Amino acid sequence: MKVVSKTITSLSLILLVSLSAFAKADKKDTENNQGDPVNTPDEISEYIQHHVKDSHDFHMFSYFSDGEEHHVGFPLPVILWGENGLTAFMSSAFHHDDEGKEVVESGGSRFVRLHNKIYELNPGATEVKIDEETHHATNASEPIDLSITKSVFGILLIGLIMFLLFGGLAKQYKTKKVPTGVGRILEPLVLYVRDEIAKPNIGPKYRQFTGYLMTVFFFIWILNLMGLTPFGFNVTGQLAVTAALAIITLVVYLFSSNGHFWSHQLWMPGVPYLLRPLLAIIELAGTLIIKPFSLMVRLFANITAGHIVVMSLIAIGITMQEQMTVVGSTLLSFVLSLFITLIEVLVAFLQAYIFTMLSALFIGMAVEEPEHH
Mark whether 169 and 262 lie in a shared domain: yes
Q: Which of 204, 83, 88, 98 shows the shortest CA–CA distance to 148?
A: 88
Residue 14's pLDDT is: 33
Q: Which residue did the predictor score with more confidence, 318 or 200? A: 200
Mark whether 226 and 294 lie in a shared domain: yes
Mark whether 197 and 275 lie in a shared domain: yes
Q: How many residues does the chain have?
A: 373
Residue where a domain terminates, one of 147, 175, 198: 147
The pLDDT mean for the chain works out to 83
Q: Going by C-beta distance under 8 Å and a sequence separation of 6 or more, which residues neighbour residue 345?
A: 225, 228
Q: Where are the beta strands (DSSP E) in the chain?
A: 57-65, 68-75, 77-82, 85-90, 104-106, 109-114, 117-121, 140-141, 144-145
Of 16-25, 82-91, 139-148, 238-247, least confident by mean pLDDT is 16-25
Q: Is residue 264 part of a domain?
A: yes
Residue where a domain terminates, one of 121, 147, 173: 147
Q: What is the percentage of the chain residues whose pLDDT exceeds 70?
A: 86
pLDDT digits (tens, 9 = 90+) for 252-302: 999 999 888 888 888 888 888 888 899 999 999 999 999 999 999 999 999
Q: Is residue 2 part of a domain?
A: no
Is the pLDDT at 29 greater than 70? The verdict is: no
Q: Is residue 43 part of a domain?
A: no
Q: Residue 91, CB half-sphere, CA atoms under 13 Å: how many?
A: 25
- pLDDT tier at 151 (50, 70, 90 boundaries)? very high
Domain carrying residue 286: 151-372
Helices (H), 2-149: 2-31, 41-52
Mark whether 101 and 160 lie in a shared domain: no
Residue where a domain terminates, one of 147, 172, 187: 147
Mark whether 338 and 252 lie in a shared domain: yes
Mark whether 139 and 277 lie in a shared domain: no
> What is the number of structural domains in the chain?
2
Residue 200's pLDDT is: 94
Mark whether 83 and 116 lie in a shared domain: yes
Q: Which of 136, 206, 186, 217 shows the shortest CA–CA distance to 361?
A: 206
Mark whether 246 and 304 lie in a shared domain: yes
